[in-house]
Amino acid sequence: MSALPRIPVLVSRAGAASAITAATLAASVLVPGLATEASAATAGEQALKVAASKQGSPYQYGAAGPNRFDCSGLTLYSFKRVGKSLPRTAASQYNSTRHVSGGSRQVGDLVFFHSGSNVYHVGIYAGSNKIWHAPKPGTSVRLEKIWSNSVWYGRVK
């Protein structure tokens, strides 16, 4: 059943004072997705977009942008661009974040790869079990599936 025949009824019932509200309601019925987002993107989501914009930038040990990155350099650069500061290394970044469980992770959280208590790699969670990261020498910034269960999550404060 189409919503179109009901629109004049909605508008007539709404009265003059609510005509704009009824028109907005009718438009949202006719054009799904027209409504605006209620909340702004988090710093993590914004940093994720920065990291994604660096796709293809080559890995270089110790580099923190704007054209070459190592893993923690990419996260440092991405969050700095959205007004958040992080320490330089992956381990220090882990220690400076609010730790969250895998079940509570959100897009934009940092994903820390570890062996025992040693954090050795970091990326930015992109959803669907994927991260943006600068993997290793000879590669470039890319989106990749999380390949290990030995990960911890941290949210930048």
User: Rounded to whole angstroms, how far apart are CA atoms 155 and 157?
Assistant: 6
Task: Burial-class residue 59 by CB neighbours within 10 Å (0-12, 13-18, 19+).
Answer: buried
CA-atom Rg of the chain in angstroms = 22
CA torsion through residues 56, 61, 67, 71, sign = positive
**Taking the CB of residue 88, how many other CB atoms lie within 10 A of it?**
14
**Taking the CB of residue 12, how many other CB atoms lie within 10 A of it?**
10
Give me the active site residues, please: 71, 121, 133
